[in-house]
């Protein structure tokens, strides 16, 4: 850590700072850079301290990453997450598809088979839905989970579904292959800790207005609990432009890859809220280095109980996957 002292700091202020570091096991050294006194020391002090709170301190520069477990400093190999025969990680591009919500057994199983036929590698679908309005369809809850379990049995595709609340985790855990933590819950710290205690992969969506830093720190909560299987998912952030539902921050993909060994997916459906943009931005996600996409599909979007406007038809999904395979072949990325 590098602490730059104010030009007008007093010698008492400096002594207080230096003694404070020593008392906590640090070995401070002092130097003058231009006209500033700088105190540097090893970062492994007892307890995290806010040096900006000290009188006489102008600037604090940390040389150690805040991302203790998600950064390349702790792991030099990219994380690979195995889910049955599937794998999410480097050199691969997975397509997760399904309707926004599980609406009924007939609806979900019908679409699940179509997703499989189109070439999807995972099934998605919410049983617990985080809806903006309390008057909108909230999901089937636990009976929705039973339908997901049946879809898994019939299609042999792994399931990704959301745990909306700490109290859902044990029920979601029983049926799902990957536990989703949604955008609105990215900073629900008790929920992050709860899924961090499980041994199932966690798909952590980026918060509606979260910085990349906050997103990675949220992942740290899960990793800290002992669960090393975290997949990040960029799903768009709030912006001023009303053309799309959110702003798809595709640059987040290579930025996160630069900072972290965790895999990153892109959800073009929630990011854009427009079915016409799903195909081009899915291909862009592959080009940007994402490890996969999560796409909402529906065969009768007019009747969908949520997000019908952004769902693509399973036939379109089939075309997209064909294009992804051709792109993958050219870029040496395996699209199963
Ligand atoms: C979802 O994937 O079902 C969902 C609600 O997405 P998000 O949390 O990104 O809004
Ligand atoms: Mn949705």
Same-domain status, 16 and 92 = no
Q: What is the pLDDT of residue 63?
A: 73
Mean pLDDT of 70-88: 96
Same domain, 205 and 293: yes
**Predicted TM-score of the model (pTM):** 0.91
The two structure tokens encoding residue 142: 């636990």
pLDDT of 49 over the 80 cut? no
Running DSSP on this structure, what letter comes out for residue 183?
A: G
Query: CA of 294: how far to CAs of 77, 233, 236, 302, in Å?
Result: 24, 8, 12, 21
Same domain, 33 and 149: no
Does 126 contact ligand 1 (Cβ within 6 A)? yes
DSSP 230: E
- Mean of pLDDT over the chain: 96
Same domain, 213 and 278: yes
Nearest 5°: CA angle at 292, between 288 and 297? 120
Asked whether 135 and 93 are in contact (CB, 8 A), the reply is: no
How far is residue 144's CA from residue 245's CA, in Å, rounded to a whole number?
Answer: 27
Given the CA of residue 267, which atom of ligand 1 is nearest to it? 9
Question: Comparing C-alpha atoms, which of 95, 75, 97 is closest to residue 230?
Answer: 75
pLDDT for position 151: 98
Which residue among 160, 162, 206 is best mutated to probe the pocket of ligand 1, counting the most ligand atoms within 8 A of its Cβ?
A: 162
Residue 36 is part of a domain; what is its CATH number? 3.30.70
Residue-number span of the structural domain to which 261 is assigned = 81-331
What tokens does 151 get? 């879809």
Please, which residues bridge with residue 232 across strands? 204, 264
Q: Which residues pair with 3 in a beta bridge?
A: 39, 60
């Amino acid at each position: 850590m590098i602490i730059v002292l104010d030009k007008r700091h007093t010698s008492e202020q400096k002594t207080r700072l230096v003694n404070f570091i020593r008392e906590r096991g640090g070995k401070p050294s002092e130097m003058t850079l231009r006209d500033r006194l700088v105190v540097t020391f090893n970062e492994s002090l007892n307890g995290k301290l806010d040096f900006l709170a000290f009188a006489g301190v102008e600037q604090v520069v940390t040389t150690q990453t805040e991302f203790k477990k998600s950064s390349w400093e702790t792991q030099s190999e990219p994380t690979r997450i195995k889910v049955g025969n599937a794998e999410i990680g480097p050199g691969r591009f997975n397509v997760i598809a399904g309707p926004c919500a599980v609406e009924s057994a007939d609806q979900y199983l019908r679409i699940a088979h179509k997703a499989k036929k189109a070439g999807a590698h995972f099934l998605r679908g919410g049983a617990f839905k985080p809806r903006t309005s309390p008057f909108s369809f909230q999901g089937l809850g636990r009976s929705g989970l039973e339908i997901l379990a049946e879809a898994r049995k019939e299609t042999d595709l792994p399931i990704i579904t959301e745990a909306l609340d700490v109290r859902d985790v044990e029920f979601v855990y029983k049926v799902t292959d990957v536990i989703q933590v949604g955008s609105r819950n990215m900073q629900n710290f008790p929920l992050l800790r709860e899924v961090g205690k499980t041994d199932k992969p966690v798909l952590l969506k980026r918060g509606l207005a979260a910085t990349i830093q906050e997103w990675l720190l949220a992942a740290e909560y899960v990793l800290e609990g002992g669960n090393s299987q975290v997949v990040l998912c960029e799903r768009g952030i709030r912006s001023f432009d009303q053309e799309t539902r959110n702003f798809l921050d595709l640059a987040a993909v290579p930025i996160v890859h630069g900072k972290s060994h965790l895999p990153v997916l892109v959800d073009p459906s929630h990011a854009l809220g427009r079915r016409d943009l799903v195909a081009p931005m899915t291909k862009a996600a592959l080009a940007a280095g994402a490890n996969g996409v999560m796409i909402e599909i529906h065969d009768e979007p007019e009747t969908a109980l949520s997000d019908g406007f952004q769902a693509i038809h399973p036939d379109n999904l089939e075309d997209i996957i064909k294009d992804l395979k051709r792109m993958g072949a050219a870029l040496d990325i395996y699209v199963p």
